[in-house]
Structure 1
Amino acid sequence: MYAFNSLPKSVVWWLPHLAIIQFAFGQISKLDSIGQQIKTTPNDTVLINLYYQYGEELANKYPDSALWYYNLAKKHSIATKYDRGRAAYASHAIEILNAQGKFKEALALCKEALAIYQTIGSKKDIAVTLINIGSEWHYLSDFQLATDNYLMALKIAEEMEDIRLQRIINNNLASIFINLKEFKKGKTYAIKSLELAHILKNDYAISSSMFNIATAELYLKDYDNALKHYSQIIQIGERTDDYILILDGWLGTADVYNARHNYGEALNYYGKVISLSKEKDAPEYEMYAYMGLSDLYKNTGQNDECEASILSGITLAEKLGTKYELKDLYLKASEMAEKAQRYMDALEYRKKYETLNDSVVGEKSKLNISLLEAKFESEKKETMISNLENNKKIQELSISQKNSLNYLLFGIIMVILLTSYISYRNYRHKQKLQTNRINELETEKQLAATAAVLKGEEQERTRLAKDLHDGLGGMLSGIKYSFESIKGNMIMTTDNQQVFERSMDMLDSSIKEMRRVAHNMMPESLLKFGLDTALKDFCNHINKTGAVQIDYLSLGLANASINQTVAITIYRIVQELINNTLKHAKAETVIVQITKTEHQLTITVEDDGEGFDTLILKKSQGMGWTNILHRVEFLKGNLNVDSEYSKGTSVHIEFNV
C-alpha cells in the first residue's frame, strides 16, 4: 500500500482533538470501527473511501476536521492515480464550502470533477455533477448558467429514467423561476417535482417540493393554498420528528399571515419559531423570524419593537456570516434610524449595507451615502444656528444655508431616481434575456426529442419495407412459381382450371399490393434518384388509380442537392397532405408544386374539394395532421392553410434549406 510522506499514520490516529470529537459525537464505536479499518486495510481504493466515510461522520458539527480527511482522501487518490476518488472529493467538500459561502471555490471543484467523469464516469456521475454545477451558479445568482446545467442534467436523467434526479432538477428549476419572479412557471416545475416525490415515497423530497409550491403561492397571493401546503409540511415534520421541516412550515405560515395582515396569528407563529430555534440551536431560523417580526412591527407602527427585532436579527446574521440577510437587516436598520432622525446611526448602517450589497455599486451607492451625510451635516448646522438665533446676520445665513441644502438634496434625489430607473431598466432587460435563453433551451430540447422520434420512425419504415419486399415478396413469388410448375404437371378439369386461374390472379394482386405498401413505406426511387423523381412516381401512381387527378410541377428541384433526412421528411409531408385530400376533400383535381431556390424550398398543395373550417385544425388529434406539424417543426418551417367551403383548400409551406 502507498505510504504518505506528509503525515505518518500513527500520528493521524492519536491526534487529541479527534478523541474529543469522538466523545462529543457519541459515536466512538462507529468512528473507532472506521479507524481500525483504515489502519489495517491493504487496499488503496478502500482506504480512500474510508477517509471519505470518516469525514462524513465529522461533517455536521466539525466541518474543518471533515475537510481535513476529505483532503487526505484526495491526496491519496492523486498519489495512487485513482481518478474516481479524486472526482469524489468535490461532492464531499462542496457541502462544507457552501455552508461557508465559498461558492466560487465549490464551483471550481465541480468543474474539475465533471472533466474527470466525462472521461471515466457513468451517465449518472455526469448528471449529478451537472446538478452540482447548476446549484453553484444558482448560489451565485447566475440563473441562465444554472438553468443551462440543470437542463443538461435533466436530459440525462430522463434518458436513464432516474426519477430521483428528475425530482431534484425540477425542484431546482422551480426555485430558479421563483427567483426570476415567474411564480406560475416556478409552481409548475415544483408540482412536477412533487409528483415524482410521491412516486419515490420520500418525506424529505415531498416536503422540499411542497415548500417551493407554497412559496410560489405566497407571492401569487394564493394564501389559502399556501397555508394548506405549509400545514402539510408541518405534519410531515411532526410525523418524522424532523424539527427543520416544522420550522420551515411555521415560518412560512407566519409569512402568509403577515402578508394577510393577520398580525396576531403571524406574531404567534414567529414566536413559536424563535422558541424552537433556541431549543434546537437553529439560529438561522431565529434570524428569519426576527426579520419577519421587523416587518410586522413596522406595518403596525411599533417602531421600538421593530428596531429591537432588527438588532436581534443583525446579531444572529453577523454570527452566522449570512451576508445576504445581513445586508437586508442593515438596510432595515438604516431606514428605521433615519425615520427616528438619528442620521449618524442611519449613515453607519447604510455604509455597512452598501459594503455588502454586491448588486448595487458605483454612483448609486455613493449618492445614497451622500444623502445621509448631507442630512447629518444639516442636523449639525441647524443646531449651531439655533444657538445664535438672536443674531440677524446668522439668521440670514441660516436661511441661505437651508435653501442651498434643499437645492442640493433635491438634486441628489433626482440623480438617485434617475440612477434607480436606469438600474431597474437594465435589470429587467437582463432578466428578460435570461428568461428568453431558458425558453430557447427548452425549445431545443423539444426539437431534439421530435428529431429522435422522426428518425426512429423512418428507420422502422425502412426496416419494414425491406422485410416486406425481400421476405414476404420473395416468399409469394416462390409460391407463384410452385403453382405454375404444378399446373404444367397436372391435368385439370375446366372448372378447376378456372379456379386455378382466379387463384393465380389473386396471388398476383397480393404481390402487387405488397410491393405498393413497401414502396409507400420507403420508395426506392427516393433513395436512388432523389426527391423530385420520388414525388413524380408517387403522383403518377395516384393518377393510375383514378381516385383523383394530380398535376405535379417542380422548379429547381431536379438537380438540387438535398440532405437525405430532409428529403425523406419533405416526401412524408407531401404524401400525408395528399392522403388527407383523398380521405376528406372529395376533390377531382390536385395541384402539387415544389419550388427550390438557393436558400429556400416551398411546397404548395391545392385541391378543388369541398373545403373546411381551418379552426378545427387547432383541436385536431389526428395522427396525420400531427405528423405534418411535427415534421414542419423539425425543419423549422412555416405552414399556412387557406380553405373555403365549396372552393377547396390550399396548403403552403416554406423551409430554409
Structure 2
Amino acid sequence: MKKLLASLFVLLCFLNSYSQDLQKIDSLKRLLNLSKEDTSKVSLLIKLTKANKNNDIASAYKYCLEAINLSKKLKYNKGLFKALTGEISLIRIEGKDSLALEKSKRLVQFAESTKDSFNIAAGYLTLGGVYDNNGDNRNGVAYCLKGLSIAERMNDRGLLQDAYAELQRIYFSRSEFDKAIIYGQKAIDIAKAMGDKGRVMIQSYNLAQTYNLTKAFDKSIKISNEVVEMAKQAGDKRVEVYALYNLCSINLRTDKLSDALTYGKRCLAISKEISDKSIQSNVLAALGSIYLQRGQNKEAENNLLEALALRERTEDKQGIADVQNILANVYFAMGQPEKAYAFEKASEDFSDHYNQSILAQQSSDLEKKYETQKKESQIRLQQADIRQKNILNYVLLGGVLAILIISLLGYRNYKHRQKLQQAKIDELETEKQLTATEAILKGEEQERTRLAKDLHDGLGGMLSGIKFSLNNMRENLIMTPDNVHAFERSIDMLDSSIKEMRRVAHNMMPEILVKYGLDAALKEFCAEIDRSGVLHVNYQSVGMQNADIQQTTSITIYRIVQELLNNAMKHANAKNVLVQLHQSDQEKLLAVTVEDDGNGFDAELLKQSGGMGWPNIKNRVDFLKGRIDLQSNPGKGTSVMIEINI
C-alpha cells in the first residue's frame, strides 16, 4: 500500500498548478479559432494543454504538439520551452518514466543553450523529478537543489514553490518524511501567498498523503476532506480521485474495510471517467487487497488481474511485481498453490534482480571511477612533466644559439624526449582502457560466480530440503488417488525446478571450468549443445593435456566461445560447427578456432551493427592482448580465429 501511495504522490506533483473549468476551456477555444499564427497563439495552446491534462489527456497532447510545432516555426524559445515542459508533464502522467527522462535531458540542454535563468532552473527541477521517478534519488535531489539555488537568487516565488514541491516529493519517495513535511508546508505557504488555489490544493493533498504514511491519520483525513471539497469546487476530478484514494488507503490501513471499499468504488468510477490508467490500476490493486481481507477472493482476483493488465500496458515493472505479490496471496487463499507460487516467484524474481542490478552497477561504477581517476592523474602528471621539460629545453636552446652544433643537438634531444613522453601518455591511455575493461570483466565474472554459488548452495539446498520433507510427509499421510497424483506431480515439478536451477548456475559459472580447466569445460559445453540436437558441434583440442592456463584467461576464452556458438545458433542457422583449441609450447601461443556452415554475412556490416555480441568478443580478446581474424561471406559460413600469447 505504501508503494501505491508513493506512485500517486509522484503524479500529483506535476498536475496543473491551477484548475480550469469547462467555461474557461470553451473561452480559450473561441480565442484560439480567432488567433493568428503568432506567439499569442502559442500561449493559448499552452493554456489549453494545462486546462485539459487533468481531465482529457488526449486533447492536451493535441494542443501541446501544436504549440511545439508553432514555436519551432516562429523560433519562439520561451514558448517552445513551456510546450516541451508540458509534453514531459503528460508523459509522466502516463507513467512512461524512461521516455520522460530522455525528454527531460534534452529540455535541460535546450534551456542551457538559451542562457535563460528561469528556463534553466525549471529544467533542473523537471529533470530532478524525472530522475527520482526512475529510481535515481541522488541525481533527483542534486538537480532539484540546483534549481532551488537559482530560484532563491532570482527570488521567484513560482519557481521556489515548484522547487519545494519537487523536494517534498523526492524526500517522500526516500521515506524521509520529516523533510517531506517541512518542504511541503513551505510549498503550501508560498502558494497561499501567491493566491494560487490550485497549488494550495495539490500541495495540501501531498501533505495529507505524507501524514498518512507517518500514521498521523487524523491530520491526513482532515486535509484530505478539505482537498476533496477544493477539487469539487475547481472541477478537478483527478485531484478529487487522488484525495478519495488517500481516504481509502487510511481506512484500509486502519482495518475499516467497509469505508475503504466505499471510497475505493468512488475512486474507480471517477478514474474510469477521466481515463487515468495509472490511478485506475492503483485503485484496482487496493480493491483487490480489500476484497482479499473481506474473504471475497473471486472479486479480489478479478480486480487484481485487471490492475495487472493495466500496469503491463504502462510497463510499470515495480507496480507489476506489487500486484503479483498480492495475487499470490489471493491464490493461496483460493487453494490454488500453483498459480500462487508462480506469481510469488515472479514478484520475488523482480525484487532480487532489481536489488542485485543496483548493487552490481554501483560497485562497477565505483571501480571504474577509481581506475579512471587514477590513470587520469598519472596522465596529468606526465603532461605537466612534458610542459616543464619543454620550458627547460627552450631555455637551454636559447642559451646556446651561438653554437650551431650544440643548438642542433639540443633541438634533436628535445624532440626525442617529447616523443618519449607522448609515447608514455599513449601507453597510459591504452593501460587505462585495458584496466577499465579488466574491472568490468572481473566484476561480471565475480557477480556470475556469486550468483551461481547462491543459486546452487542457497536455493538448491532449500529446494532439496523441501523435496526431502515432502517425501517424508508422503510416508506419513493417507491420500486419495487424486491427491497422490497431484503430490507426485508436485514432486516432479520440484525435480524440474532443481534441474533448471542447476543448469542456470552451471551456465553462469561452470564448475568443471574451475576444477578441471578450459579443455574439459569446452569439451563438456560443446557436447551438451551437440546432445541437445540444436546444433552438431565437433570439438577438437591439440596440446591441451598438460596446459597451464590462468583462470582469468580460461574464463574469458570460455565466454568468447560461448558467445560465438550462441551467434551460430541465433543468427547463422548453422547445422555444423567446428571448435578447435590448439596450444603451442614452442611459440607460447594458444589458438581458438570456431567455424560454422551457416548463412554467413558481409564482414563489413559488423561496423554498422548496433548489437553488443561482437563488441563484447573484441573487448575480451583485447583484454587478453590477443589477435582476432574473421572470415565470412554470404552463403559460405563463418570462420573466427583467435590467437593469444600465454
Q: TM-score range by the shorter chain?
A: 0.3 to 0.5
Q: RCO greater where, 1 or 2, for CA within 8 Å and sep 6 or more?
A: 2
TM-score (norm 2): 0.48
TM-score (norm 1): 0.47
